[in-house]
Structure 1
Amino acid sequence: MSGDTKNSSANNDDESSSDKFSGWTCDQITPDLCDLIVTEGRIPIREDGLYVHYWKYSSADNVNSVDNDNEQVPSPPPLYPVVVLHGGPGMPHNYMLPLKQLACRPDRYGRTRDIYFYDQGGCGESVHPVSNRSTQNASNSQDHANTLVDEHPYLLDPMYYATVELPKVLDHLLGSNSNSGGYHLVANSWGTILAQYFVLDYYNPKREAAHQQGGIDAGTDPSLFPELASMTLSGPLSDGDLYVRSQWADAEDGGYNNLGQLPPFVRNRIHGLEKGNAYGSAEYQAIDESLTGRFTCRIVPAPDCFAVSASGPGLNEDVYVGIQGPSEFTLGGVLEGFNLTGRLPAIEVPVLLTSGAFDTMRPPVVDALYQALPLAEWTMSEFSGHVTMIDDAGWTNGVVDDFLGRVEGATTPLGSNGNGSSSSFRPIPERCGPAGCVPKETAVRNARGIVGDATIDGTGIGDNPVIVSFLSLIAGLVIGRYLLPTNFSSRRVAEGYESI
């Protein structure tokens, strides 16, 4: 990080320099584990002049190749890079910077991976360089960013970010990383929506077209079509209505650690202010700030990287409100009513789902993805809100690094066998949270009346309704007794719905 950040850290440690504690820096929360080399640049996206700004974090000790004197055993290829998709929308990448630690985690060969961050178009350092209205009327970078929406309405279109901007970013970044035949996406919040759209509406069709043309099957140069090795979706959602409902579920309906658990007076005030569209009122802003400290970033006061993203000059409020709506706890913009859950079975890459016990993405929201994705794992931080990479940075980097390593350990690189990439990756068959781990293929699925591939004398257990009913009952009792919060509604367990 820059020298200014280090000076800020020093000032925070010097009690005599200020009578008021100004908060921690993200470098204090997630100090570099190694000497990092940071390079940055711009990527042109559109002919109208829009570009995105990116940053590449690499370990100074990175080993790109492994010496191997044994000709019978091939040398391992370089580790795949990670491309990070920030949330928001309209919030720059800064709050995701704790993930730079992933660049400092060598494998057993000493190899490390490059980590790329970028600001999505219209926010942070990726504002339009030339804009007549902005040049004439904008008094600061905030005004400059906001006027972009009027002149460039595609900034309110999720498909622009997922199928135009992201592919061009990947093409530029991976094209400069000639040693890599693949990559990983790590996304948070709004970024997880973009990742889903990217795979469904760009990556899958593009890959299918390449197959039909014989490119991948012919074992061509992997740089012609870098392989998406995995996705990590942090605080994800695929169903907008479910997201809003889960925010307000009370204890009777299985809600916990959410808005439904606020004091009745506060709940009534929130409903009243939202009904009156008073999102800009001082009262609503005060409530929103308090809720942010409970459910979004639980480190209070928020560290610098979160503050820069959430309220700094690079925030594009027009993009945020236009897509998300005026509040973090509702969906009133372009995303209102969106639902991708039914399409998720078409995402066939390994997916790690992470969330926090106090996350705005409540367990039913994440569970919708968990059940629909063919190769999904789900793990939860007991300390975190929505930004687990800040609230529980060490845990987040650890579980992501472990997941990436297991994915790459099970993957044959593109083109190496003439049949494209292949993966023997199998997700850990359990969901882990503060109360323990719930096996996905036994307790979780049985609680829903669904049983996996286990057989008795060649007959699928799932074909026997008596056995299914018995196992469902046992699973429900086990989950309810040992693995659920004490305030979880037993009625919901009886209905076959499980939650951490």
Structure 2
Amino acid sequence: MASVQVTEGELDFSIPKITKPCKTWYKLFGSLSPTTVPLIALHGGPGMSHNYLLSLSSLASDYSIPVILYDQFGCGNSTHLPEKNGDTDFWTVELFLSELDNLLEKLGIGEYDLFGNSWGGMLAAEHAIRQPSKLRRLIIADSPASMSDWIVAAEGLRKQLPTDVQSVLDRCERDERTETEEYEKAVMEFYKRHVCRVWPFPGDVDDTFESLKRDPTVYHTMNGPSEFYVVGSLKTWDIKSKLHRIKVSTMLLNGRHDEATDAVVQLYFDAIPRVRWFTFAESSHMPHWEERELFMERVAAFLRD
């Protein structure tokens, strides 16, 4: 494993009707040059922070692929707006697409590859549908193309949990007690099976969950209180009818135990013209931790093909 240059910075991000200065924080592993094609990584959530994707730095150290991670607006090290909690007119897909465009422009990036995990894959697909001229390759990891299909899959997995865990989840959701420790512990039983099967969670994964606890504004507004209880503005999100517009070479990734089940991923596979798909046999929603070495091999091979 070679050592790599690591650079952190902040980019101004101008948002209409927001008067206070807004920033997007980013971290670059490797260096940018006219001859390199960086991989830009979009984290999940929305609002989950970059930390759990830090394993992607292996692509820079082991394969000399520059990697850019950033905290999407409203979470992590970027500007927070807790006063916008519940404001579905503010927290939109378009806001985060604009932030990505701003990052590309401010960093002076030419040709680039794009990776997205979970919500990040949804955002990456939305970006690719617009056919940006400098996007070279796309990786959609552990993501739905339709939240209604995601919810159906999640309900099926939820029914496989122990009955006492299901009872706690049902009761807390019915009584609107989803911020209790009881609910959190029950949710974790789902997460250990279908979000990350490395237990205890890697420190970087824990850091993301801790960041979410400190400010759940974006996640609660757009998603809801958990991965499988979706009551936010993304509940009706669906891009199945637009997927044929993605013209770049695309790789789909998921795990055998993933909350992004095969039925969910199949929607992408059936619609994108130039696509391949790999499922990690021992992974769930974070194969970049659960089968880290194989994950990096597969991703690097695709980007270099």
Structures share fold, TM-score greater than 0.5: yes
Is 1:115 the counterpart of 2:86? The answer is no
Which structure is richer in relative contact order (CA contacts within 8 A, separation 6 or more)?
A: 2
Give the distance between the partners of 1:351 and 1:306, measured in 2 at CA: 26
The residue type paired with residue 74 of structure 2 is: G
Give the distance between the partners of 1:244 and 1:287, measured in 2 at CA: 18
Equivalent residue in structure 2 for 1:273, among 155, 159, 172: 172
Is the 2:85–2:221 contact (alpha carbons within 8 Å) kept by the matching residues of 1? no
TM-score, normalised with respect to structure 2: 0.91
Determine the structure 1 residue equivalent to 2:13.
45
Deviation at 1:304, TM superposition (A): 1.2
Is 1:94 the counterpart of 2:66? The answer is no
The residue type paired with residue 267 of structure 1 is: Q
Give deviations 1:219-245, integer Å, cap 9, x for gaps.
xxxxxx5x1011111111111111111
Greater Rg over alpha carbons, structure: 1
Give deviations 1:296-347, integer Å, cap 9, x for gaps.
1211111111111111378530111101111111221010121111110111
Is 1:289 the counterpart of 2:241? The answer is no
Is 1:240 the counterpart of 2:139? The answer is no
Determine the structure 2 residue equivalent to 1:58.
30
The SS at the match of 2:270 is helix
Give the distance between the partners of 1:154 and 1:53, measured in 2 at CA: 23
TM-score, normalised with respect to structure 1: 0.57
- C-alpha change, 1:370 and 1:313, in structure 2 (3 Å) is closer
The SS at the match of 1:36 is coil
Give the distance between the partners of 2:6 and 2:71, measured in 1 at CA: 15
Deviation at 1:105, TM superposition (A): 3.6
Matches within 5 A, 1:19-418: 33-46=1-14, 48=19, 49-58=21-30, 78-106=35-63, 112-127=64-79, 145=80, 147-149=82-84, 156-162=91-97, 164-173=98-107, 175=108, 181-200=110-129, 203-204=130-131, 227-249=134-156, 258-312=157-211, 316-406=215-305
Deviation at 1:259, TM superposition (A): 2.1
Give the distance between the partners of 1:313 and 1:235, measured in 2 at CA: 19
- C-alpha change, 1:148 and 1:349, in structure 2 (3 Å) is farther
Deviation at 1:152, TM superposition (A): 8.1
Give the distance between the partners of 1:247 and 1:152, measured in 2 at CA: 25
The residue type paired with residue 51 of structure 1 is: K
Which structure 1 residue ranges, 5 or more long, are not aligned? 1-32, 65-76, 107-111, 128-144, 208-224, 250-257, 407-500
Is the 1:91–1:314 contact (alpha carbons within 8 Å) kept by the matching residues of 2? no
How many correspondences in the alignment?
A: 301
Determine the structure 2 residue equivalent to 1:30.
none
Is the 2:82–2:215 contact (alpha carbons within 8 Å) kept by the matching residues of 1? no
The residue type paired with residue 60 of structure 2 is: A
Give deviations 1:86-113, integer Å, cap 9, x for gaps.
111112101101011111344xxxxx33
Give the distance between the partners of 1:288 and 1:246, measured in 2 at CA: 16
The SS at the match of 2:233 is coil
Q: How big is the alpha-carbon RMSD for the aligned residues of Structure 1 and Structure 2?
A: 2.2
The SS at the match of 1:335 is helix
Give deviations 1:258-303, integer Å, cap 9, x for gaps.
2232233433443333233331233221101222112112111111
The SS at the match of 1:352 is strand
Give the distance between the partners of 1:334 and 1:151, measured in 2 at CA: 9
- C-alpha change, 1:194 and 1:315, in structure 2 (3 Å) is farther
Deviation at 1:149, TM superposition (A): 2.0
Which structure 2 residue ranges, 5 or more long, are not aligned? none
Is the 2:168–2:186 contact (alpha carbons within 8 Å) kept by the matching residues of 1? no
The residue type paired with residue 104 of structure 2 is: L
Give deviations 1:435-487, integer Å, cap 9, x for gaps.
xxxxxxxxxxxxxxxxxxxxxxxxxxxxxxxxxxxxxxxxxxxxxxxxxxxxx
Give the distance between the partners of 2:99 and 2:57, measured in 1 at CA: 22
Is the 2:155–2:228 contact (alpha carbons within 8 Å) kept by the matching residues of 1? no
